[in-house]
A and B are shown apart, each in its own frame.
Chain A
Amino acid sequence: MNWIADLGAKTLQYVAGLGRAGRFFAALTGACLIALSRFSLVVKQLYSVGVLTLLIILVSGLFVGMVLGLQGYYTLVSFGAESSLGLVVALSLTRELGPVLSALLFAGRAGSALTAEIGLMKATQQLDAMEMMATDPLPIVIAPRFLAGFIALPLLTAIFTSIGVIGGYLIGVQQLGLDSGVYWAAMQEGVDFYDDIINGVIKSLVFGLVVTFIAVYQGYFATPTSEGVSRATTRTVVNASLSVLGLDYVLTALMFGEI
């Protein structure tokens, strides 16, 4: 009989967690409005969340684009369709790989750092100290980080996609000898600005929201011990990655499903 009680306890815990997350999100949205009026705090977080993630985004984007160019070329050339290489590289990057891989890298690089930072602030009672001084930590500590992640990920995604397209160009055109005009023309022929690029940006906006929210939530509600912080960090990366992959399917079905 014990395991039935355990099941009930787990369910209650889970539902309570969802409710806590919902209330936290509502409070955070309000705090974001206050944080917007102190934009220098957001800029400071944009540096640590966005600029410091730039290098890993640039390097992985370049290599993903190069691999796409290589794999795409060898597959397409067996159908005599290597002229579509530009289209293959650009569509895969704008629709899927750009938003998803950027979000996964972002969760690993910036999300974990956010959780660890906020969790440690909590463990060392800095957040409690702020509350003691009648200062709400949400608009000062949490909201700027949340906003910064929300702003940074779409920009990082655009950079990732662009550098990937250039990586495909380097391999397809410079190394494998495809004509440069053919590469760009096939791309411009098939990639639609609204259907493909804007939908990719919408995806990255959603991913930015979800990944950053999970990161600050896990940090804010971490058990204030060193073990608790380390667990929260792991949970951020795992939950954020799974949410990104699951949401990606849903968004793709909504965006490209009816055609």
Chain B
Amino acid sequence: MQQKRGIDLIVGLFVLGGIAALVFLALRVGNLSTASVDNAYRLYAEFDNIGGLKLKAPVTLAGVNIGRVTDVKIEKAFYTAVVEMSIDSKYDNLPEDTSAAILTAGLLGSQYVGLEPGAEESYLADGDKIEITQSSLVLENLISTFITSGAGQGAAAQSGSESSGDDF
């Protein structure tokens, strides 16, 4: 009987160890501790271009993570992207003129939505839409803008030097 209790005890410890390992995986390795926003409200924002924004990308306010991107759709009438965000309801005092921008973490990091609070007295509520948005910076567009404007500037600088006498 004594030996039987011993085996029971060891098996119990084994099962507990396995469950503890699962909990460790869930909380420390996985994102269960951070992923679910229990009490959340939804906000929408319309962007011309969302670049590489992905589902579950963080939504930050002053650099602090306050929510997640939960859905991305196309607004058929305007050919724009509508991003649905789920924001922790602890932060329910975002002014109505809050602006949203798609930013990049680091030089080539993943993209996230950064919120910039405005100055209105009334607050955004569940289902509201953020009106002021800034689209993602697409590297190719940036480079092509840089090349064309750089060429333009070069031409402008030349014409400027030629006509500098006229201005002054």
**Inter-chain contact B7/A47, CB cutoff 8 Å:** yes
A115 CB-CB contact with B under 8 Å: no
Instruction: Let me know if B11 and A43 touch, CB within 8 A.
Output: yes
Is B142 among interface residues, defined by CB-CB distance under 8 A? no
In the complex, chain A residues 158-195 whose Cβ is within 8 Å of any chain B Cβ: 158-159, 161-163, 165, 184, 187-189, 191-193
The yes or no answer to B26 lying at the interface (CB within 8 A) is: yes
Instruction: Tell me whether B143 is interfacial, beta carbon within 8 Å.
Output: no
Q: Which B10-66 residues sit within 8 Å CB-CB of chain A?
A: 10-11, 14-15, 17-19, 21-22, 24-26, 28-35
Interface residue? B167 (CB, 8 A) = no
Give A184 to B26 CA distance when docked, in angstroms. Answer: 13
B59-78 vs A, Cβ < 8 Å mask (1 yes, 0 no): 00000000000000000000
Number of interface residues of A (CB under 8 A): 31
Main secondary structure of the interface of B (DSSP, over half): helix
Bound CA–CA A191/B24 (angstroms)? 13
Shortest CB-to-CB span from B73 to chain A, Å, is 19
B162 at interface by CB-CB < 8 Å: no
Contact of A189 among B4, B7, B24, B31 (CB under 8 A): B31
Option from B11, B21, B30 in Cβ contact (under 8 Å) with A188:
B30
A46 (CB) vs chain B CBs: closest residue: B11
A44 at the interface (CB under 8 A from B): yes
Task: Assess whether A112 is interfacial by the CB under 8 Å rule.
Answer: no
Q: How large is the interface on B (under 10, 10 to 19, 20 to 34, 35 or more residues)?
A: 20 to 34
A241 interface residue per 8 A CB criterion: no
Q: In the complex, what residue of chain A is closest to B28 when comparing beta carbons?
A: A184
A209 contacts the other chain (CB 8 A): no
A50 touches B11 (CB 8 A): yes
Q: Tell me, yes or no, whether B8 is within 8 Å of chain A by CB.
A: yes
Q: Do A161 and B15 form a contact, CB below 8 Å, given A44-B7, A188-B31, A191-B31?
A: no
CB-contact partner of B26 in A159, A163, A193, under 8 A: A193
Contact of A193 among B7, B11, B19, B31 (CB under 8 A): B31
User: Are B14 and A90 in touch, CB under 8 angstroms?
Assistant: no
| A185 CB, min distance to chain B CBs, angstroms | 10
In the complex, A116 has a CB within 8 A of chain B: no
Instruction: Report if A47-B28 is in contact (Cβ < 8 Å); known contacts: A154-B18, A155-B19, A156-B18.
Output: no
Measured in the bound complex, the distance between the Cα atoms of B14 and A212 in whole Å is: 19
Contact of A54 with B by CB under 8 A: yes
Contact of B25 (CB < 8 Å), options: A46, A54, A161 = A161
Do B14 and A158 touch across chains, with their CB atoms under 8 A apart?
A: no
Interface mask (A176-220 → B, CB under 8 Å = 1, otherwise 0): 000000001001110111001100010000000000000000000
Partner of B10, one of A47, A94, A188: A47
Bound Cα distance A50, B14 (Å): 8
Question: Is A9 among interface residues, defined by CB-CB distance under 8 A?
Answer: no
Which residues of chain B from 135 to 162 have any CB-CB distance to chain A below 8 Å in the complex? none
Provide the residues of chain B in CB contact with A12, threshold 8 Å.
none
Q: List 11 A-B contacts (CB under 8 A).
A: A47-B11, A51-B11, A161-B21, A161-B25, A189-B31, A191-B30, A191-B31, A192-B31, A193-B32, A197-B25, A197-B29
Query: Apart from A50-B11, A188-B30, what are 13 other A-B pairs with CB-CB below 8 Å?
Result: A44-B7, A51-B10, A51-B11, A90-B29, A154-B18, A155-B18, A159-B18, A159-B21, A162-B24, A162-B25, A165-B29, A191-B30, A197-B30
